[in-house]
């Protein structure tokens, strides 16, 4: 390229940017902007409240969206949530009426939360568009509503005998679900701060009150809840999720000479290889093991609440950088075991699943969808040893062939009768052949 040509191109480029000066200015502004839809703080362990990824929303969108009550900024002000928004102010007024004798007024609550604003904002994965005053008001209003709700359910304070939020069963069932949705959270340290400021005499801890509240949906013995009374969770979903984690998660280290674990087959194929599934007692449904050809799984109740809980726990694990992937692993296990409604039927027959969701086909669809588009490392999960051992047993030679033979010919009465009839027919055919040969030999 000659010098004149280079000079012409340079002049042409300068002319373009001189003509589009506004565009250049706009680009320079973007260079100084910080991401808002996914903030830089979202990758830190301090960030714990996330917008659910669109890939998960496309499959199970309704399970992540609040139905009657908005908590925190993500769904604040939506029209279909206004009914409970009015009752939040009623709950706050009742709380202030109780604390007025102690000199605690609304301004005191606002001033107490103000120093927590920056730390609270950093808990959200997106930039919060509300002003300082709006954000603090939201934290106080939503936090006090949750605390008062827990106190009234546990009868720490008396509720109105005709309070519609407690006398209408459908409202309470949606409270249970809405308060564990990932997008519908406020930081637990905000709740705890407000709880301590307005604490009533002889009250259990906030963690205990919260777990008692959710125990209305997942009944567990009181001694199980007491183990977590001093926990410091990130938010309510994290609290409930943590209370189900096995006390000691098995650490799996794959030996160098062993191939990596593989995803296991569905129930129908495992049965044909002689692998069985049996229920067993455990404090949490996450404790699954495999011994002597049997997968032991605690019973799990599948209903509307549990579906929301499982989906939001998986979404939380997918988003939070410092969170173990235990629920994701469990969801992957069930997705592997269940392919069709027939697999669900077997789990129900064996008392591993209690189905209050709908048809067996709907349960199968739920578990198959729960495993879609989730990141899962089978080499580094708490069930890695189970996946490895089940696969080795599945491919371990003669006993598998014998189990398949038994399953094919002796699994049901009719298959046994058919096999017996075929065997008898074979014996008679052989006998007839032998008799014919002997007759021929004698005659000759």
Q: Are residues 277 and 198 in the same domain?
A: no
Per-residue confidence at 25, pLDDT binned at 50, 70, 90?
confident
Q: Are residues 176 and 132 in the same domain?
A: yes
Is residue 41's pLDDT more than 90?
no
DSSP state, residue 154: T
At residue 3, the pLDDT reads 54
At residue 423, the pLDDT reads 63
At residue 61, the pLDDT reads 86
Q: Are residues 114 and 230 in the same domain?
A: yes
What is each CA distance from 142 to 113, 158, 203, in whole angstroms? 12, 20, 20
Count of CB atoms situated within 10 Å of the CB of 77: 11
Q: Are residues 198 and 305 in the same domain?
A: no
Distance CA 398, CA 401 (A): 5
Q: Are residues 162 and 233 in the same domain?
A: yes
Asked whether residue 299 is assigned to any structural domain, the reply reads: yes
**Average pLDDT, integer, range 42-67:** 92
Asked whether residue 46 is assigned to any structural domain, the reply reads: no
Asked whether residue 137 is assigned to any structural domain, the reply reads: yes
In percent, the amount of the chain with pLDDT more than 70 equals 86
Q: Are residues 137 and 177 in the same domain?
A: yes
Higher-confidence residue: 426 or 6? 426
Name which of 267, 264, 298, 303 is nearest 283 in CA terms.
298
Asked whether residue 405 is assigned to any structural domain, the reply reads: no
pLDDT digits (tens, 9 = 90+) for 252-298: 555 556 666 778 999 988 988 889 999 999 989 999 999 989 999 99
Higher-confidence residue: 227 or 155? 155
Mean pLDDT of the chain: 87
At residue 407, the pLDDT reads 47
DSSP state, residue 263: P
Q: Are residues 277 and 239 in the same domain?
A: no
At residue 402, the pLDDT reads 46
At residue 8, the pLDDT reads 56
Q: Residue 120's Cα: distance from chain center in Å?
A: 23
At residue 421, the pLDDT reads 64
Q: How many domains does the chain have?
A: 4
What is each CA distance from 287 to 185, 268, 303, 386, in whole angstroms? 27, 22, 20, 11
Domain C-terminal end among 244, 275, 303: 244
Q: Are residues 9 and 157 in the same domain?
A: no
**Average pLDDT, integer, range 245-255:** 68
Note the pTM of the prediction, 2 decimals.
0.84
At residue 411, the pLDDT reads 54
Count of CB atoms situated within 10 Å of the CB of 307: 18
At residue 250, the pLDDT reads 61
> Worst-scoring range by mean pLDDT, 153-167, 172-186, 385-399?
385-399
Contacts of 124 (CB under 8 A, 6+ apart): 39, 47, 49, 50, 72, 73, 74
At residue 283, the pLDDT reads 87
213, 204 Cβ separation under 8 angstroms: no
At residue 142, the pLDDT reads 98
At residue 172, the pLDDT reads 94
**Average pLDDT, integer, range 380-407:** 73
Is residue 405's pLDDT more than 50?
no
Q: Give the CA diameter of the chain.
A: 122
Q: Are residues 288 and 197 in the same domain?
A: no
Q: Are residues 389 and 421 in the same domain?
A: no
> Worst-scoring range by mean pLDDT, 142-151, 371-380, 407-416?
407-416
Contacts of 266 (CB under 8 A, 6+ apart): 336, 337, 338, 339, 340, 343
pLDDT digits (tens, 9 = 90+) for 335-357: 999 999 999 999 999 999 999 99
Asked whether residue 159 is assigned to any structural domain, the reply reads: yes
Distance CA 226, CA 23 (A): 61
At residue 241, the pLDDT reads 96
Structure-block tokens of residue 35: 């991401």
> Worst-scoring range by mean pLDDT, 5-19, 70-84, 216-230?
5-19
Residue 388 CB burial class (10 angstroms; 0-12, 13-18, ≥19): buried
Q: Are residues 394 and 416 in the same domain?
A: no
Q: Which residue has the tokens 């013995």?
A: 221
Name which of 49, 263, 242, 272 is nearest 139 in CA terms.
49
Contacts of 389 (CB under 8 A, 6+ apart): 290
Asked whether residue 259 is assigned to any structural domain, the reply reads: no
Could you tell me how many residues make up the chain?
444
Asked whether residue 210 is assigned to any structural domain, the reply reads: yes
**Average pLDDT, integer, range 292-307:** 96
Residue 35 CB burial class (10 angstroms; 0-12, 13-18, ≥19): exposed
**Sign of CA pseudo-dihedral 166, 179, 205, 186:** negative
Residue 324 CB burial class (10 angstroms; 0-12, 13-18, ≥19): middle
Structure-block tokens of residue 219: 């009944």
Distance CA 380, CA 228 (A): 26
Asked whether residue 41 is assigned to any structural domain, the reply reads: no
Structure-block tokens of residue 152: 């009234």
Q: Structural domain of residue 424, as residue ranges?
A: 412-443
Structure-block tokens of residue 415: 């298959």
Per-residue confidence at 52, pLDDT binned at 50, 70, 90?
very high
pLDDT digits (tens, 9 = 90+) for 97-150: 999 888 889 999 999 999 999 999 999 999 999 999 999 999 999 999 999 999
At residue 251, the pLDDT reads 58
Return the SS3 of 297: strand
Distance CA 207, CA 213 (A): 10
Bridge partners of residue 296, in order along the sequence? 278, 289
Q: Are residues 416 and 353 in the same domain?
A: no
């Amino acid at each position: 390229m000659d010098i004149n040509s280079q000079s012409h191109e340079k002049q042409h480029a300068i002319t373009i940017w001189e003509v589009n000066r506004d565009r250049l200015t706009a680009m320079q502004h973007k260079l100084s902007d910080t991401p808002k839809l996914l903030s830089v703080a979202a990758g830190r362990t301090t960030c714990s409240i996330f917008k659910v990824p669109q890939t998960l929303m496309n499959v199970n969108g309704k399970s992540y969206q609040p139905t009657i009550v908005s908590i925190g900024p993500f769904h604040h002000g939506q029209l279909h949530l206004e009914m409970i928004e009015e009752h939040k102010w009623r709950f706050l007024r009742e709380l202030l009426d109780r604390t007025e004798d102690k000199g605690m007024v609304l301004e005191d609550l606002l001033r107490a939360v103000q120093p927590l604003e920056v730390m609270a904002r950093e808990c959200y994965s997106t930039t919060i568009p509300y002003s300082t005053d709006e954000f603090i008001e939201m934290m106080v209003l939503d936090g006090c509503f949750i605390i008062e709700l827990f106190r009234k359910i546990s009868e720490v304070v008396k509720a109105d005998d005709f309070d519609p939020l407690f006398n209408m069963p459908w409202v309470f069932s949606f409270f249970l679900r809405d308060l564990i949705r990932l997008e519908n959270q406020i930081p637990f340290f905000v709740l705890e701060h407000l709880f301590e400021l307005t604490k009533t005499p002889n009250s259990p801890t906030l963690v205990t009150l919260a777990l008692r509240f959710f125990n209305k949906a997942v009944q567990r013995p009181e001694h199980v809840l007491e183990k977590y009374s001093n926990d410091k969770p990130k938010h309510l979903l994290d609290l409930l999720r943590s209370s189900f984690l096995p006390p000691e998660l098995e650490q799996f280290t794959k030996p160098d000479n062993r191939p990596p674990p593989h995803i296991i087959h569905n129930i129908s194929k495992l049965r044909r290889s002689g692998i069985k599934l049996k229920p067993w007692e455990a404090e949490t449904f996450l404790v699954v093991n495999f011994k002597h050809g049997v997968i032991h799984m605690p019973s799990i109740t599948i209903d509307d609440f549990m579906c929301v809980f499982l989906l939001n726990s998986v979404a939380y694990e997918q988003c939070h950088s410092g969170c173990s992937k235990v629920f994701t692993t469990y969801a992957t296990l069930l997705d592997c075991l269940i392919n069709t409604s027939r697999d669900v039927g077997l789990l129900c027959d064996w008392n591993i699943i209690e189905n209050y969701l709908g048809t067996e086909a709907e349960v199968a669809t739920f578990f198959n969808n729960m495993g879609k588009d989730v990141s899962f490392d089978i080499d580094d999960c708490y069930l890695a040893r189970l996946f490895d051992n089940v696969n080795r047993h599945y491919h371990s030679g003669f006993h598998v062939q014998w189990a398949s033979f038994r399953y094919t010919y002796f699994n049901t009465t009719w298959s046994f009768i058919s096999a017996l009839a075929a065997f008898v027919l074979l014996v008679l055919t052989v006998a007839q052949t032998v008799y014919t040969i002997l007759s021929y030999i004698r005659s000759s």
